[in-house]
Amino acid sequence: MTTDTNPADIVLQIENLESYYGPIMAIRGVSLTVRKGQIVTVLGANGAGKTTLLKTISGVMDPEKGTVRMQGSEIQGSEPDAIVRRGIVHVPEGREIFPLMSVAENIAMGAYTRTDRGDIAADEDMVYSYFPILKDRRAQRAGTLSGGQQQMLAIGRGLMSQPRLMLLDEPSLGLSPLLTQEIFEIIVRLNTEQKVTMMLVEQNAKVALDAADYGYVMELGRIVMDDRAEVLAASKDIQEFYLGVSQDENQRGQRRWKQRKTWR
């Protein structure tokens, strides 16, 4: 586990977190840190506890033990709307858009906690600048959008709350490789241009590590490995179990790392 000499740079600090999914302990003593300006990814197979971790951070689930600090203040056990007001927005697995509402209405719902009504129109324009297809379909019912467009809408809706930290749960789920690359390119742009700190959980380890600064690997509810993204991508275990790369390809993979980091 890494440390940081400047506490002001720490956006999210989790210590010894335990959460249950029904009778099952899904999170087992997890500790991690997300720093300002980073993209942090959490990798792991189905059932590793990744989604439960995000739900615990965003207040959808309450932890049994441990602390979740947002910019130094404990938020575990708070109501989800209070956590949104603190600056954390959760883009859930499956998107969970409002299918019978229009694209524009879904975007507007992202600003429900805001009181600065005069700035909302400017942020709508910002969202549409990243997702121009949504601007063209503002009047269309959200449920009729393609899977990729619904993912764009879910991210755009989240941006409307002006998050300090955006939690993304499986943003590539159900998308083609081309759409996955497009979504992750936008994620990186939002991080660099809009200064949105990101924490994402993802089974597609290659695309996640290409975009991320730092990564954690979860197995059976525990963090079993963490390091800079490029170090994880070069790890033999990560390459064999998550990237599908044989041992003989490891050296070639390491040499290709810098070529793969094209989104930065």
Q: Give pLDDT, residue 245.
A: 58
- Rounded CA-CA distance 181/197 in Å is 19
Q: What is the pTM of this model?
A: 0.88
- Rounded CA-CA distance 37/188 in Å is 11
Phi-psi region of 77 (alpha: psi -120 to 50; beta: other; left: phi over 0): left
Q: Give pLDDT, residue 248.
A: 54
**Beta-bridge partner residues of 198:** 39, 166
Structure tokens at 7: 């506490």
Q: What residues does CATH 3.40.50.300 cover in the chain?
A: 1-87+164-229
Structure tokens at 156: 């755009």
- Rounded CA-CA distance 22/162 in Å is 33
Query: pLDDT truncated to tens, each residue of the chain (264 aa)?
Result: 444 457 789 999 999 999 998 888 999 999 999 999 999 999 998 889 999 999 999 999 999 999 999 999 999 999 999 999 999 999 999 889 999 999 999 999 999 988 887 899 999 999 999 999 999 999 999 999 999 999 999 999 999 999 999 999 999 998 999 999 999 999 999 999 999 999 999 988 999 999 999 999 999 999 999 999 999 999 988 888 877 655 555 455 445 445 445 555
The dotted CATH code for 1-87+164-229 is 3.40.50.300
Using the CB atoms, write b or e for 189-215: b if 16+ within 10 Å: ebbeeeebbbbbbbbbbbbbbbbbbbb
Residues in the chain: 264
